[in-house]
Amino acid sequence: MDKEGVVTAIKNFIIPELKEIKDNQAKMSIRLDPVEKRLSDINGHLIEQSRRIDEVRTELTGRIDATNKDLVEKTDGKVLWG
């Protein structure tokens, strides 16, 4: 096979395959953009939920501590449990 035959074979077989691969990559890129945005939105939502959970935990810990203190005061310092 001469040089021209090899070039023709490349043009006939490899170049169309490369074009198809390039087209598929472009389609995937278009499809990935909304997925990446959605993942970013979900990540933001999870960060907000984590922050809120921390706030609620802190608030509840304070309430539990206050309730324990009230119970100790009402029982004249006698610990009735534990």
The closest alpha carbon to 43, from 54, 31, 35, belongs to: 35
pLDDT band of residue 62 (cuts 50, 70, 90) is very high
Residues 6+ apart with CB under 8 A from 71: 80
Q: Is 77 left (phi over 0), alpha (psi -120 to 50) or beta?
A: left
**Total domains present in the chain:** 1
Domain of residue 4, residue span: 1-81
> Residue 4 has what pLDDT?
87
pTM for this model (two decimals): 0.58
Q: DSSP state, 77?
A: T
- Using the predicted structure, report yes or no on whether residue 82 has a pLDDT greater than 60: no
